[in-house]
């Protein structure tokens, strides 16, 4: 075990997989010699050689098309998209090709690719370095979409993603790369040091895709979150003193529907959190699933706390970001309903 930041944990996952499996290789913009703009691939080219970890042209469509071809051949490519905001030129490759190759060829070809991309706000990145596109991918059948919230999960989920024979979109919450962030942007920045989930085994292990984590058991309300919002939820729960059950979904496809339903039936109240804008966000799907499966257990309407339905605004970052005050208000509102 070692204390690791999320960046170190992700780097360790890639290191483990490069070491274990000669068919694993990775490429993306600036990830080779330089080690990536967020340093996730630092040292890997030096350790494993040029062809295992290399730079690509600025061509997201080309990166993913290349990865799919390599995957069909039998490799396990890990492609990095420098920011999730830049993934859209590759959308056709992900939607029309990676997601459907197995189905349309009746299993003759498939795309065991992992697409890593830092996502989310809180870094003053403006509208082109802050977005959360997970709902776009969740809607596409045939893709898995995974979002870790801490170093331990990040490593175990990334190894599981690389070992999966299905295409995985692996969204890394960049605001918590270096430390947990509870949305209190005016307080001192924390690191992962001394956080229990920063104790990460140095070798190989997996956190299975599709298995949520109940981070806090509670009786009064269920909070569903992933990525950075897990930490915002923890702060809001603590500050309100409400006996909430906090579920970190960890992957939204596959979705741990069993954990969600069991908790909702227990508490009868639900608050769904994400940074992405609210309308048709992944919270809409969660909300629909809950009312379909738990309607007669509900004591209050399910609430969503999310980004506003505007582009991500630079100067108004903290007005836009669904911080602990908004989450706390939603918790209280849901508790007041009868």
Partner 1 sequence: MAEHLTLHIPKPPTRPGDAPDFSHLQIPPAGALPRPDSATPARELRDLSDGLIRVLDGEGYAVGAWTPTIEPQRLRDGLRAMLLTRLFEERMFRSHRQGKTSFFMKSTGEEAIGAAQSMVLSPRDMCFPTYRVLSWLMARGYPLNDLVNQIFSNERDPLRGRQLPILYSARAYGFYSLSGNLGSRFGHAVGWAMASAYKGDDSLALAYIGEGSTAEGDFHEALTFASVYHAPVILCVTNNQWAISSFAGIAGAQEATFAAKAAGYGLPGLRVDGNDFLAVWAATEWAVARARANLGATLIEFFTYRAAGHSTSDDPGRYRPADEAAHWPLGDPIVRLKQHLIAIGEWDEARNIQFEAELSEMVRSAAKEGEAVGTLGKSKPPVSEMFEGVFERPDWRVIEQRKELGV
Q: Which residues bind partner 1 (CB under 8 A)?
A: 25, 51, 56-57, 59, 61-62, 65-75, 77, 89, 92-93, 96-97, 100-110, 141-142, 144, 164-166, 210, 253-255, 257
Nearer to partner 1, 68 or 78 (CB): 68
Smallest distance from the beta carbon of 321 to partner 1, in angstroms?
31
Residue 336 pairs with which residues in a beta bridge? none
Which are the contacts of 104, defined by CB distance < 8 A and separation ≥ 6?
Answer: none
- Tokens in use for 189? 């920045």
Q: CA 298, 323, 129, 71 torsion: positive or negative? A: negative
Smallest distance from the beta carbon of 77 to partner 1, in angstroms?
8
Nearer to partner 1, 80 or 166 (CB): 166
Smallest distance from the beta carbon of 32 to partner 1, in angstroms?
13
Query: Strand pairing of 76-80 and 144-146?
Result: unpaired
Of the candidates 92, 81, 78, the residue with the CA atom closest to the CA atom of residue 37:
81
Smallest distance from the beta carbon of 292 to partner 1, in angstroms?
11
Nearer to partner 1, 260 or 335 (CB): 260
Phi then psi for residue 120, to 5 deg, are 90, 170
Nearer to partner 1, 244 or 255 (CB): 255
Please state, in angstroms and rounded to a whole number, the distance separating the CA atoms of residues 115 and 147. 12
Please state, in angstroms and rounded to a whole number, the distance separating the CA atoms of residues 1 and 195. 13
* Residue 204 among the catalytic residues: no
Smallest distance from the beta carbon of 75 to partner 1, in angstroms?
5
Of the candidates 122, 173, 157, the residue with the CA atom closest to the CA atom of residue 323:
122
In Å, the largest CA–CA distance within the chain is 62
Q: CA 311, 320, 280, 226 torsion: positive or negative? A: positive
Of the candidates 218, 220, 330, the residue with the CA atom closest to the CA atom of residue 274:
330
Which residue in the list 129, 139, 184, 274 is annotated as catalytic? 129
Q: Is the peptide bond before 90 cis (omega within 30 degrees of 0)?
A: no
Nearer to partner 1, 15 or 166 (CB): 166
Nearer to partner 1, 65 or 284 (CB): 65
Smallest distance from the beta carbon of 25 to partner 1, in angstroms?
7
Please state, in angstroms and rounded to a whole number, the distance separating the CA atoms of residues 56 and 85. 18
Total count of residues recorded for the chain: 338
Catalytic site positions: 129
């Amino acid at each position: 075990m070692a204390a690791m930041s999320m960046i170190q944990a992700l780097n360790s996952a890639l290191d483990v997989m490069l070491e274990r499996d000669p068919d694993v290789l990775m490429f993306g913009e600036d990830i080779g010699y330089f080690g990536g703009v967020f340093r996730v691939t630092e040292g890997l080219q030096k350790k494993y050689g040029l062809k295992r970890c290399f730079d690509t042209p600025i061509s997201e469509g080309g990166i993913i098309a290349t990865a799919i071809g390599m995957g069909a051949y039998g490799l396990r490519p890990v492609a990095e998209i420098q920011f999730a905001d830049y993934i859209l030129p590759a959308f056709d490759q992900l939607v029309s090709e990676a997601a459907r190759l197995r189905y349309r060829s009746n299993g003759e070809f498939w795309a065991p690719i992992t697409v890593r991309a830092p996502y989310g706000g809180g870094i003053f990145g403006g509208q082109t370095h802050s977005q959360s596109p997970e709902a776009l991918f969740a809607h596409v059948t045939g893709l898995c979409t995974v979002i870790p919230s801490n170093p331990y999960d990040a490593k175990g989920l990334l190894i599981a993603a690389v070992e999966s024979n299905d295409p995985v979109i692996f969204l890394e919450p960049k605001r918590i790369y270096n430390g947990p962030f509870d949305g209190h942007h005016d307080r001192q920045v924390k690191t992962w040091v001394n956080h229990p989930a920063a104790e990460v085994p140095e070798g190989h292990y997996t956190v299975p895709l599709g298995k949520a984590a109940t981070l806090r058991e509670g009786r009064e309300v269920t909070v569903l979150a992933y990525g950075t919002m897990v930490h915002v939820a923890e702060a809001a729960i603590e500050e309100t003193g409400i006996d909430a059950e906090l579920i970190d979904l960890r992957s939204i496809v596959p979705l741990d529907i069993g954990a969600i339903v069991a908790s909702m039936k227990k508490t009868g109240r639900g608050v769904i959190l994400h940074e992405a804008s609210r309308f048709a966000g992944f919270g809409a799907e969660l909300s629909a699933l809950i009312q379909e499966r738990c309607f007669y257990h509900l004591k209050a309407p399910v609430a969503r706390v999310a980004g506003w339905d505007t582009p991500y605004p630079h100067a108004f970052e903290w007005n836009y970001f669904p911080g602990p005050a908004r989450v706390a208000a939603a918790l209280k509102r849901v508790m007041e309903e009868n």
